[in-house]
Amino acid sequence: MRSGDGDRSFLRSICTVVFLFASLALDASEYLISYRYVVKDATLFNENLQISPAMQSCQGTPQTSMILDRDNTADLRSLIKINREKFLNYLHKLGLYVTHDAYTTNMQQHATTTMTLKTTCFQVDFNDNFVKIAPIK
């Protein structure tokens, strides 16, 4: 017959393992990111990058990720601001929705091109030296 003490130590070890896995899973934050870039007549008209923490957990699996150096910043906005060009190139590789409109008025050509990344959930892992960013699909 088993003693009650053996059951408690087994239960404690299972709780410790569950707590360890839960704490590892909580290190990853989820953010909603959207991007819009508008060019009118070959001139940048508007560029908008929106970042907000996800209010609910996103469903899906992380896809191809990118790694940015952390540079002692704890905020995702400031980190992306520092590495803006690298992050925008990454968004372009993910695929943007592109619309183009060209028209002529009084024998003058006008064109508007809009590139949009629809609101996408990203998993962000902050480590000591780097940050790993991956879209969730």
pLDDT digits (tens, 9 = 90+) for 67-97: 999 888 878 999 999 999 999 999 999 999 9
Q: Count other Cβ atoms within 10 Å, centred on residue 74.
A: 9
> What mean pLDDT value characterizes the chain?
84
Model pTM above 0.85: no
**Coil, strand or helix: which one is 18?**
helix
C-alpha 31/C-alpha 123 separation (Å) is 7
Q: Are 39 and 116 in contact (CB under 8 A)?
A: no
CA 126 vs CA 53, 75, 100, 107, 137: distances in Å: 14, 10, 37, 54, 20
Amino acid, res. 62 = P
CA–centroid distance for 7 within its chain: 43
Contact in structure between 69 and 129 (CB atoms under 8 Å): yes
Q: What percent of the chain has pLDDT over 70?
A: 80
Domain ranges of the chain: 28-135
Lowest mean pLDDT among 3-7, 98-102, 103-107: 3-7
**Please, which residues have CB within 8 angstroms of residue 110's CB and are 6 or more apart in sequence?**
40, 41, 102, 103, 104
Q: What is the C-alpha to C-alpha distance for residues 73 and 67, in angstroms, rounded to an integer?
A: 14
pLDDT digits (tens, 9 = 90+) for 123-133: 999 988 899 99
Question: In a 10 Å sphere around its CB, with 0-12 CB exposed, 13-18 middle and 19+ buried, how is residue 72 labelled?
Answer: exposed
